[in-house]
Chain A
């Protein structure tokens, strides 16, 4: 069975500081990995995804994530935090090659940006 663990339910950084949100996954087959962002009372929006092409994936709003198979990790980073980055972030994994794909989500990390 697949699973996702996000380390830290709440992360707080200063504006302009590095953002690092941690995600570790468990999958018996090569995974597809996703990071989604959710603003209050809204749906989820895709930030980026890994589908076995490049291990360093660039997404929207300056975010990127690196797939490390040896560490079963897919941590999300952004060099310089902006106030608009305050939101909840979800890491998700899927191992289905096609058709309907069931995503398994982590419990989420709430990111707070301090002025």
Chain B
């Protein structure tokens, strides 16, 4: 089945530690996105990538980094500079093409601080 796989489902971060969230898609989509979800705030865009080896900052990129070495993979690193990392993180993808393309979402990773 085609889809987006996020791992792990739950992740705990210690003080001063960097952690990496995985996002893999087998939909052959060109664009991929990372969102952060906090209660009552909807989803906010962290980073997005339109093609391999290229990515752009979203609205809340500070304290996060990404890479796009392969079309199917878009990992997100939460660095120690992100002082409030506790949130639900969602990865999405969409094909290029005409406007109004649907974003398909993974099941999410819930990150907590120890």
Contact = CB atoms under 8 A, between A and B. Distances in A.
Given A41-B108, A46-B102, A51-B99, A99 B41 contact: no
Interface of B: 4, 6, 30-31, 33, 40-45, 48-50, 58, 88, 90, 92, 94, 96-103, 105-108, 110
B42 A42 contact: no
Interface residues of A, number: 27
B48 A100 contact: yes
Given A49-B102, A99-B96, A107 B108 contact: no
A96 B108 contact: no
Count chain A CB atoms within 10 A of each CB in B4, B33, B43 and give the residue with the most.
B43
A90 interface: yes
Interface of A: 4, 9, 32, 34, 36, 41-46, 49, 51, 90, 94, 96-103, 105-108
A49 B100 CA distance: 8
Given A107-B42, A108-B42, A100 B50 contact: yes
